[in-house]
Each structure stands twice: as structure tokens, then as C-alpha cells.
Structure 1
């Protein structure tokens, strides 16, 4: 297998305990080049803990984490982000009192030298996200859906190889969801960037993801294409067969 086709991220036996609680147990996971991978499961399934382990915000109790071929087990979030894995946060990453332009500019600080090149990156990122008309607006004054796109823009301005999104569709209406899914497709197709999507909106996950990983009680339950996951009896019993508040 050529190096370009090696998984961008691999976990082996990844485990995280909080006292007597095992939040993630012996998780094997991989994210491939140019794919959108969904991570789903009921509340308390271990999605957020997995997300924090992958991005370096939690150190694993045991197991290994490899990112872009490097052993990143226990490495700091800054080290991991500089390798090319960048994440958003569930409640947004934007600075409400700053303009959209200056928010996106934050994402260029570590990766680009020179003000002119940074501004060029901001303009390119804003165009792709449909944010060009709002560049001079205060981010906190924008509708919720546009604020979510600004948060994605901050992360994507760094041009990561792997973009990890923590529930980016929460609170969005159908039009905003469709717009955001289009953006994710462009990020993957035009920039060869893989996306890890932690999300409760099942219709959106099924529509945009190439593969889906299902967690249940901190353990891996299933991995497959959207069609395979929809038809998996274990997944239906544990998750898809029940109604959610999301």
C-alpha cells in the first residue's frame, strides 16, 4: 500500500478511565485519506472523550494514537494541531466581539508568515464558506448558522489534513444544515482534507459521511458505510431504533 493511502489517524486499544468509569474502552479506529468519517452513538457513548483523546486534550489511560504515521500518544494539543489535525468545539470557537475576518485570521497565525499571505488565506477561506459578505461584521451579531461556519473557518484556515468537527450542525435549520454539508464536501473534494464528524443529526450524517463508526457505552459497536450502519441490527437496537431529543 502506498504511503498516500495509509490511514491519517489510527488508534489501537485506546482507553480512557475517569476513576471507576471507563469512558472509552479498547477502541480501534482509523480515518482514511479524503474521507468524511462520522462518529455517532447515544449520549454517554464516549464520542466527546474519543474526540478529546484524538486531539490531545485528554491523555489515554492506555492504548496508542498514531497521526500521520507518528506516535502521538500523550502529545499535547498544540503538537497535534501543528502536525495538521485541527478541531472545533461543540459550543463554537469564535470571538464574538471580533469581525469575521479577524476570527478567520486567528486560524492562520501558526501556519502562515506575512500579513499579506494571511489576508489572502482569510479571503480564500471566507469565499469557500460563503462568508465573504460578512467579513467586516462582528461575529457575535451573525445568525447562529453563520457563526457555526465562522468556527469551521477558523479551524480550516490552518488548512489541516484532518479537520475534526464537534457537533457543527447543532441548532441549525434545514437550509443551514444543507449549506454546511456542501461546505464539508468541498473541504474534502477540493482540499483533499479528511473530516471527522461527531454529530447527532442522523439524516445529515447518513447523507455526508463515507463511513460511520458507532460507539455504545464507550465501546466500538460497528463501522461501515451509511447503508451498512442503517441495516445493522446491533446499531438499530442500541441507537437508531430509539428516538432522541436531538
Structure 2
């Protein structure tokens, strides 16, 4: 099998239906499977999947496990050459999946790839290229871990993006977790998502581990997804604050206690890696 699509959902029935419909359309000519993990939803999400997408494998959690653990459940069941981790609130273009698979097949050094993300109004989302938000960039700078993310524009404003950067295929540090296509063989080598980073940061951690293992992460903007960003709770809620900043502390402690080396063949570790850019 070529592809396993893993979608985690929590109470987003309407958006999940749209997401699965567009994924089914995008994978029509691909040998693929869809694995939906319903993370203790209280709406009609599970029933909708069973009725509208009977070919999908459905895992129903009775207690909320969090994004990282739920994605791991899907990865463990996946049998495809590639694993696509995609949020339930994303809309895929007709050729999105086909194009990223072609890209990965043509780039043997790639461990994973992400795509250009647009908001529902069609505006470019810079985090689709940087992989994380300004808040994550700030904690990486303050902790000294920024050295492991040399191409993530940590010292530049998101307002300074130009069209050339938006549409340039390039190697990046981090693949945004809303849409991550990863080689199954690489996941077998580096391991599953860190479940301590239950909601936030597991995509950053996974991307870093891909690079530490000697593979490259890519941003491929010649296709796109729409990202509704509906899974985030209110940034003023205690639950959001605890999960978001708790993940930052866990991530920083994990790597500050053991400073890793990135395995880039032929490049001394004292130099930042050089990144391939395609126009």
C-alpha cells in the first residue's frame, strides 16, 4: 500500500466530513487507507464516519488521549509506505496528495514534507513554512535551542514574508503538524510521537528527530491545504495555557539535558546545514 492517512478528530463532525471528502477525492488514484481516531467526541463524529465513510478504519477512544497519543494509535495501525498526518479541520486540494507523494518519491533524502497552508480566506499562513508560531520561536531563542532551527526565521518578523518565499520549495527545520507526510521507514527508525507533548509541540519534536537521524524536512508549496485551525482552545483559557506552555517546558528540558548532533553527511557539525532550494 502506498499511503496511510491518519486523521484525529474531537468534536468536529462537520469539518471532519469535509476533510475526509476532500482527502478521498485527492487519493482517488492512489492505493491508500484512511484511519480515523475519534478522540472521545461527544457529537455525531463517529456515527458520521461509519455512515458516510464506511471504508475508513475507525478507532473510538472512550477517554480523550490527546493528539500525539491518538496519532500514534493510527500510525501503529498504518500499513502504507507513507503516513500522512492531517488535522480534521483541513481541506485538501484535488492534487495535493498526489503531488506530495511524487515529491517524496523524487527526493530519497526526504524524511517528511509539508505544504503551503492558507486560511479560509485564502491568506498564506507563515507557520506552514516555519513550522511553528512566534511563541514557540521565542522559547527556542530563550532556551538556546534556536541553533537547531537555523532556517526558521526566528529573528525576523512574520510580517516580512514575500511571495518568493511563499512559493519556493525548500528544506526546512519543522513540518507543520496540520499536514505532515512522512516515510513509514523513517518513523520505524526514529519512533512514534512523544506523547508527553499531547496537544502542542509533538510535530516540532518529530521534525527535529527526523533531522537528527540524517533525513531532510521539506516545504513544498506547489500545492496547498486550507487550514481552519479549529482545534485550538481559547488562548485565554487555563487549559490552553497549561497545555501550550507546558509543552514548551517539556520540549526545552528534553533537549537541553542532552544536546544532540544533527547527522548531515559531509558537513561538520560546527557549521549550520546548507539547504536546498528549488524554484
TM-score w.r.t. length of structure 2? 0.25
Higher relative contact order (CA 8 A, sep 6+): 1
TM-score w.r.t. length of structure 1? 0.27
